[in-house]
Amino acid sequence: MPKRTREDEAKATPRLSAVAQRRLREQQIQSPTPVVSESVVKVRKTKSTAQKRHEETVVPPTDISNDKLARERAEIEQKLQKRVSEVKAIGRDPTRILPKDWSTAQMSPASNASRSREESPVSKPSPARRDMPSKTEESALARIKREREEKKLSATTDDEDVEMKSVKGSDEDEIMESGAESTTPKLTQVSSLVPTDENYSVTDSASVFRLQPGETLVLVGVYQITVTKGSVNISGAKLSPSSPTQTIYAPMTHALPVIEAILSKRKQTTNSGTPGAEIRITNHHSGILEIGKLCPTFNTIWKGSSKDLGGNSFAPIFTSATNIPIVVIPTSWKPTLKALTKKATSTNASPPIIILAGSKGTGKSTFSRILANRLLTTAGLDSIAYLDMDPGQPEFSPPGIISLSVLTCPILGPPFTHTLTPTRRHHIGHTSPREDPAHYIRAIIDLLSVYRQSHPTVPLLINIAGWTKGLGLELLHDILSHSQATDIVFLGGGAAVIAEIIAPNTTTLHELSSVAVSSSSSSSTRFTPADLRTLHTMSYFHRLSSRGWDFTTPLTGFAPWVIPYTGTARGIDGVHILGETIAAKELCTAIEGTIVGIVVVAEHNLPESFTPTPTPTPLSSSADDELLLPAILESPLAPDVAECKGLAVIRAIDSTNGHVHLISSVGESEIEEWERRRERVVLVRGRLELSVWEMLLPTGGVAAAEKELPWISTGEGKRSTGAVWRVRRNVMRRGQR
């Protein structure tokens, strides 16, 4: 799809608006829409449906009967009657939500691309529609739009969402978002389930939902789901009464997972009464809900648009006045998912090695989660291996680390909520492999060899960062040849570059369209990739060794490890700074109060030139104040001998006693394990950033502090030269398309 600009969009408006209007008229005339497949039901956040709904609020609701299963019609109509009476009772109270069951009105299935094109013009309210929303809504919309634009601008200036490509995926997303945003004046159906007394009951301990086949439910927050009847699908995972209770993390930072009842063909007769599924949703207070208390940016991620959870850890979202991104699995993905599942479960061949490639924001992570969940829950595999290669937005490790993991249960939450400890990790230290591509490739080769040695019988999913050009393409080439991939799933356009470099007789290339409206993790409208990294890093450091998180205090309130770095009892052998040679004198300046990787290495693998016992480093000629500093390891540690054990924050260096004070969520058993194997510990400083909120004191932050805190400024940010040079990669030249 060619790059589209706002100008183009504006120009195209009249023509496309006409198309949309014609569609609207057609739909109004149409008799009840034909039965459609499940997948299309999911497409509900479209402009046309929203418009249609709006039209329909004017006409008596009983005129519409477009539910997809004819036999359910009577029941639905009953619901509608009930709603109507409710609506009458409520009067014009705008605070009450008005679920509209008829919102499942179908439009003809269209490709995502064409749909988005049709949607875009409507983002600017056409004169015909302008009289409908009230003035206040209009101005509110304008405000929201402006804020989003501003946010977007600042987001795009962030260089840390390092893509190794020139085209930003967000271009496409922008148009789609604006299409979705135009629905904001009205309520949008989020769940297709319309709550009634029969299908939704709340007790003190749990909420029980009964879903008809194909009906969907969206919840926000953290919850545990138990299926008591039938089966449901959530993010590709099939859950049934035999499945264990699953904990689901559904924050607003990412597209919300959709629970969908599956039409079970076999069991339909066994259950008396209605087919479909019954699920029990219970609270799960794990501490991660409190993250907003530390970092205001994430204040509302666990809540719906404006509601309070009121003591619960979750809330169902039936309709919403704002755009809520939900996970939508494009229909076009289904054949590929099916084919890959078949390949993974066939016993006569070696397990597939599947690479997920494509530009940023095309849904690689979404696809990988869905595929993994599918393999683990419906295909009956006990475990799969997952090679996570994007140091910017990793799945199973904090940012700056790449890892190999073995999954045994489905992935039911965004990356920052995972509690899994990977099998093997490597510290990259940057959010992009660009700083040291050779080291990065060595790390990947090592992870691949660990996979071959330890888990050769399980399928491997490889999620790579969004690279399609330049250095990224070169790296991709290397990875392809080293991984001996059997399948490459390429999302979004531009698969041609891949097709050139794969061996067609051994590797199958699956080209898929990118994910639909706002359902990919990175196209979430409110949070930048840097925000998500902050979230992930905070979540990592606040995770307790047992399940759960402690967000009661910033890291300044965490008791540190006190580790000597001199003498025979030293627990830290040295410090390595990636890509720089720092004078001993400035070592503390460079690393104190920063995030470092904990890397362990067998003693015989340390470079020979390295003397692990640091000698007192005299900072001046006068002999009476010699300070002890950690030894500096000049050369980097090779990934095939060194392994990352996690991240730590050097909260202080006590150079008088030769101790480093370290905050880390690495478990005691792991520390003892590497000690037992007599491995040496090196702290590696990359360029990972610690959030300012972690550096404040728990009580009242900076304002309450007597004097200024180290490395924190509360002064006014400087203009132009005083600012950090943040790179924008989406500036276009005139005439560029």
Least CB distance from residue 226 to another protein, whole Å? 37
Least CB distance from residue 540 to another protein, whole Å? 17
The tokens describing 190, both together, are 């989020």
Q: Which is nearer to another protein, 406 or 692 (CB)?
A: 692
CA distance 56 to 307: 27
Q: Which is nearer to another protein, 381 or 632 (CB)?
A: 632
Least CB distance from residue 238 to another protein, whole Å? 41
The tokens describing 398, both together, are 């904090």
Q: Which is nearer to another protein, 91 or 735 (CB)?
A: 735
Least CB distance from residue 554 to another protein, whole Å? 8
Q: Which is nearer to another protein, 228 or 620 (CB)?
A: 620
Q: Which is nearer to another protein, 69 or 666 (CB)?
A: 666
How far is the first Cα of the chain from the last one, in angstroms, to the nearest whole number? 11
Least CB distance from residue 435 to another protein, whole Å? 12
Q: Which is nearer to another protein, 171 or 640 (CB)?
A: 171
Q: Which is nearer to another protein, 105 or 653 (CB)?
A: 653
Q: Which is nearer to another protein, 265 or 678 (CB)?
A: 678
CA distance 701 to 695: 9
Q: 279, 209 in Cβ contact below 8 A?
A: yes
Report helix angle 6-29 to 112-119, nearest 10: 100
The Cβ of residue 561 has, within 10 Å, a number of other Cβ atoms equal to 18
Closest CA to 247 of 181, 193, 185, 313: 313
Q: Which is nearer to another protein, 355 or 555 (CB)?
A: 555
Q: Which is nearer to another protein, 129 or 661 (CB)?
A: 661
Q: Which is nearer to another protein, 125 or 701 (CB)?
A: 701
Least CB distance from residue 23 to another protein, whole Å? 30
Least CB distance from residue 499 to another protein, whole Å? 32
Least CB distance from residue 291 to another protein, whole Å? 18
Least CB distance from residue 659 to another protein, whole Å? 8
DSSP 256: B
Mention every residue, 6+ apart, whose C-beta is less than 8 A from residue 659.
Answer: 562, 563, 564, 565, 653
Least CB distance from residue 372 to another protein, whole Å? 33
Q: Which is nearer to another protein, 19 or 153 (CB)?
A: 153
Q: Which is nearer to another protein, 445 or 584 (CB)?
A: 584
Least CB distance from residue 580 to another protein, whole Å? 6
Mention every residue, 6+ apart, whose C-beta is less than 8 A from residue 13.
Answer: 121, 124, 126
Classified as helix, coil or strand, 727 is: coil
The tokens describing 354, both together, are 């599947």
Least CB distance from residue 646 to another protein, whole Å? 13
DSSP 513: P
Least CB distance from residue 179 to another protein, whole Å? 19
The Cβ of residue 696 has, within 10 Å, a number of other Cβ atoms equal to 22
Long-range contacts of 299-304 (CB under 8 A, 24+ apart): 300/252, 301/251, 301/252, 301/253, 301/535, 302/220, 302/221, 302/222, 302/251, 302/252, 303/220, 303/221, 303/252, 304/220, 304/252
Least CB distance from residue 678 to another protein, whole Å? 10
Q: Which is nearer to another protein, 506 or 699 (CB)?
A: 699
Beta-strand runs (E) in 334-470: 353-358, 384-388, 401-407, 424-427, 460-463
Beta partners for 224? Answer: 247, 282
Q: Are strands 626-627 and 617-618 parallel, antiparallel or unpaired?
A: antiparallel
The tokens describing 412, both together, are 């039911």
State the DSSP string of 324-372.
--B----GGGHHHHHHHHHHHH-SSSPPPEEEEEESTTSSHHHHHHHHH
Mention every residue, 6+ apart, whose C-beta is less than 8 A from residue 501.
Answer: 473, 476, 477, 480
Q: Are strands 353-358 and 487-491 parallel, antiparallel or unpaired?
A: parallel
Closest CA to 536 of 549, 525, 547: 549
- Dihedral sign (CA 343, 346, 347, 349): negative
Least CB distance from residue 698 to another protein, whole Å? 5
Q: Which is nearer to another protein, 53 or 439 (CB)?
A: 439
Classified as helix, coil or strand, 488 is: strand
Q: Name the helix (H) or strand (E) containing 44.
A: none
CA distance 416 to 403: 15
State the DSSP string of 585-621.
GGHHHHHTTSEEEEEEEEGGGS-TT--SSPPPEESSS
Q: 579, 430 in Cβ contact below 8 A?
A: no
Q: Which is nearer to another protein, 640 or 654 (CB)?
A: 654
Least CB distance from residue 683 to another protein, whole Å? 12
